[in-house]
Amino acid sequence: MKFRTFLALSLSVFGVFTSAANHEVKMLNSGVEGFMVFEPAVVKAAVGDTVTFKATDMAHNSASIEGMIPEGANAWNGAMSQDVTVTVNKEGVYVYQCTPHSMMAMVGVIQVGGSLSNMDAIQAKVASVKAGFVTNKERLDTYLGSL
């Protein structure tokens, strides 16, 4: 009985050290890459990690873009001026935006598990998403090209 208790305790302690990571992304009016940005704009994560979008500056949100996340992945649409935490549950690439500033290419990318498995689906939508940009038209291509 003592061995089982020791084993259970050991495994629970080990679990604390192997828990998922949290990545923090700031929603900013101005950052290193210009105006209306997520910082960092490109995050590399593992399945089960969380990404917390911090409402550093007001009047921003984070929302996944339909058709630009892995099939079966958790979609999200955060509230304005509120932090939102998303668990990335599928390998692949996730593209997201700040809804009110999407025309300024306030977008970001999360790559999960090093996978580019859904890149063809994303590339099929890039032109239509970029058609709505009035500034920073190269931003999304730059982020996707960095993967």
pLDDT, tens digit, 9 for 90 and up, residues 76-109: 999 999 999 999 999 999 999 999 999 999 999 9
Per-residue model confidence (pLDDT) at position 52: 98
Report cis status (omega within 30 of 0) of the bond before 70: no
pLDDT value at 9 more than 50: no
Q: Average the pLDDT over 3-21 and give the result.
A: 53
pLDDT value at 10 more than 70: no
Q: Average the pLDDT over 25-36 and give the result.
A: 96
Per-residue model confidence (pLDDT) at position 130: 97
For the chain, list the domains and their CATH numbers. 20-145 (2.60.40.420)
Give the DSSP letter of residue 104: G
